[in-house]
Structure 1
């Protein structure tokens, strides 16, 4: 039976997120595969790779609570991670995970489902990337890759505070805040809620370790980072702590901008288009909680459309789609979104 290294890491967001990038790179360069469990301390509000801080986060509230803000190297939406949420991460050759990011998400979900079953909670996978209990989400999952090597990351909610999450989101009114808090409570669940009592994080970690070993069909050996991984994590912490990465990677366009947002099966898409006259597109910004492979492909599309003609949009999008995959958002979905915003 093949073996993975098993590591539990507790620390601030820049340490943990630097590890996400470093460990995939290390494994892709020949290091042994790894299953890592993480606990964020202090609590952190984490954006998805394609999101803009100004569109998603109530910065004043986050500062008031003394929480960190970070940007994950994966897509998806804004989440809170702290002492009551267990993060899990797998870094391995794709053959352990079904060969594709989509299959890797399902394989990771198996580990979560087995964990919950051992705790007495029935759960199932909900496409595209959730584990649910009686229709309510208890775990969200993301994936990214380097060649045939895949990282799949996710959460298991031991406990959760819906009001705390909603208070840190950027919302337009108190009325909407109350509605969203109620909505989160109806759509999400967590272990202590399902069991009717709390359990220790140590018990969850022990149970999850056994369950992921079974789901992956591998042995887990207590391990540690290689010297090269330690060095790379230390270097990457500067990136994940930097304002450039957190705040400036995806910034809303300034000036007179056409704007539209729409929810698709693959996630929320926010589209901004700035025009130079009636027929020339000056710049484009696409943000949201979607997942795309390769993850930087969205920059290629924005670059293609910059200083292009409106009548070239369809051809550019169709050509771009040949080399990318967005879960749950089709070529026609994106074309329709551009057509709608350009008519404004």
Structure 2
């Protein structure tokens, strides 16, 4: 796969700076200014992040976060809402999609990227496994969620390793369906995730964890990781990009739910994540006036969902026409969403079109 890659450890920094760094390194690698790169990242202060295709107002308990000093930001990658406390460790891989040995099929690429972390965890005495589509688990419980994005011919693949996790703060900071459930269901949810401290009975020093993951990634990808630093160009770009990633325009993503009396909402669960659809309809003309699609999936190219919304604007709300619009869009734009098909979006849209206009549904989403 090419032998010498750069290893970056950017330490504990703010959410905006970390998100800006994702973009900066991706830009630098896509213009061939830097080598293939593996980065370790941490957050300070603690924060919540929505995925690129999500809406802050649907996913985050904003009042609680402001009260607790929890920063709110948006990733350049898809996926779900996440809470990061200061103990968590993030890992990222930047490389060309045509790197020898890296599968072209996204779901196979996901497996390979995760395998490096699985081998790293074995060095810490943790028996972990890849769980499709994009999780790493220990004894059936999730210890790392992963996902990615791309720019041109370069991909960014990233994951979160749960070390010593504060589940209760996470439940308070994120809007999750389980909040409406009984305590026993909340307890069941907590049993779905685990962390290094729980698995091992103690928390290894962070440098030991990083060293193990470095060795695992190196072994699986067949590379040599050489500690490095940001280039002068990356550093200058970071200072500029951070301003954009601190802005409300980025954090909100201009992803605001349409306001109208004839708002229809629906959600559809797929293997690759949850699709949430909000539509403003002209019922008399059987027309979709505007569409708002969010979810915790990973779409390639990353702009696909916004472009799909544009394609649906003023289109027919009839099921056959929705299918024609969506399927043609997927073909024309070469859309790829692991675990999600064009038909899944058709189902979500048709479900929303068939619902009575009950704006109270927003509470349930």
TM-score by length of 1: 0.95
Counterpart among 112, 115, 120 of residue 125 in structure 2: 120
Task: Quote the Cα distance in structure 2 between the aligned partners of 1:330 and 1:44.
Answer: 32
Task: Quote the Cα distance in structure 1 between the aligned partners of 2:86 and 2:18.
Answer: 14
2:16 counterpart residue number: 14
Within a 5 Å distance, the mapping from 1:1-344 to structure 2 comes to 2-9=3-10, 10-30=12-32, 31-94=34-97, 95=99, 97-170=102-175, 175-176=180-181, 178=183, 181-256=186-261, 257-278=263-284, 279-311=286-318, 312-322=321-331, 323-344=334-355
Change in 2 beyond 3 A, CA 1:338/1:149 = same
Change in 2 beyond 3 A, CA 1:172/1:217 = closer
What secondary structure, in the 3-state scheme, does the structure 1 residue paired with 2:191 have?
Answer: helix
Task: Quote the Cα distance in structure 1 between the aligned partners of 2:340 and 2:108.
Answer: 18
- Asked whether the 8 Å contact 2:326–2:346 carries over to 1, the reply is yes
What secondary structure, in the 3-state scheme, does the structure 2 residue paired with 1:121 have?
Answer: coil
- Asked whether the 8 Å contact 2:52–2:77 carries over to 1, the reply is yes
Cα RMSD for the two superposed structures: 1.8
- Asked whether the 8 Å contact 1:166–1:180 carries over to 2, the reply is no
TM-score by length of 2: 0.90
Change in 2 beyond 3 A, CA 1:335/1:18 = same
Q: Per-residue deviation at 1:140?
A: 0.7
Structure 2, gaps ≥5 residues long: 356-365
Structure 1, gaps ≥5 residues long: none
Task: Quote the Cα distance in structure 1 between the aligned partners of 2:179 and 2:113.
Answer: 37
Task: Quote the Cα distance in structure 2 between the aligned partners of 1:62 and 1:177.
Answer: 23
Q: Per-residue deviation at 1:99?
A: 3.7
- Asked whether the 8 Å contact 1:84–1:158 carries over to 2, the reply is yes
What secondary structure, in the 3-state scheme, does the structure 2 residue paired with 1:187 have?
Answer: coil
Count of matched residue pairs: 344
State which drifts further: 28-37 or 90-99. Answer: 90-99
Q: Per-residue deviation at 1:314?
A: 1.9
Change in 2 beyond 3 A, CA 1:178/1:166 = farther
Task: Quote the Cα distance in structure 2 between the aligned partners of 1:335 and 1:99.
Answer: 26
Change in 2 beyond 3 A, CA 1:177/1:52 = farther
